[in-house]
Amino acid sequence: MKTHNKIIELLKTQGSLTAKTLASELSLTTMGIRQHMLALEESGEVTFKDEKALRGRPTRYWSLTEKTNSHFADRHDELTVQLIDSVIAVFGDDGLDKLISNREAVSMRTYRLALADKYGVEEKLVTLAKLRSDEGYMATVTKEEDVFWLLENHCPICAAATKCVNFCRSELHLFQSLLEDVALVTRTEHIVEGARRCAYKVMLI
């Protein structure tokens, strides 16, 4: 993988980072990273924000622009929106709700089968994150004390979710149903509301 692509992937999964952090992650010199960042800035793929430091010069944090969305999986946004409009036109809002419910039911069956022999919240979440990553969501699992986080750094159905928020409600309900016996699931960050990622807080019951 080219260095530019590695930088973009790190910024996508970890959010804003300094050149020093990127250099450490990629085993490169800070000067080398800065050259890559300048090239990415010229191509319009990254931007930066200088934040005041306790001492000395401000610290520069780099982040991605919307232009980099083309690097990641999508579901043919324009066609998706057209299909949603067509479903509403032909079958009405009830027809769209039935479509979303059917999608949720299919996913539920697939996920339940994959989680059937997994024990404990962490094992279930790791398996779920793998399934979601295979679908293009770039999902990871982290833990902070007694709280788990399912983090999705990309939304391959963002156009559909933006057009119809019921897709997002369906996914939250899906996670809540899958883990209802062992944990409470809430969404604290939401891509369609402007967040960098979707974050699901998973608390043990």
pLDDT for res 12: 93
pLDDT digits (tens, 9 = 90+) for 110-169: 999 999 999 899 999 999 999 999 999 999 999 998 899 999 999 888 878 888 888 999
Could you give the CA distance from residue 167 to residue 157 in angstroms, rounded to a whole number?
9
**How many residues make up the chain in this entry?**
205
In the 8-state DSSP scheme, what is residue 116?
Answer: T
Q: How confident is residue 76, by pLDDT bands cut at 50, 70 and 90?
A: low
Domains of the chain: 3-71 (1.10.10.10), 77-204 (3.30.1380.20)
pLDDT digits (tens, 9 = 90+) for 111-121: 999 999 998 99
pLDDT digits (tens, 9 = 90+) for 7-51: 999 999 999 999 999 999 999 999 999 999 999 999 999 999 999
Mean pLDDT over each residue of the chain, to the nearest integer: 91
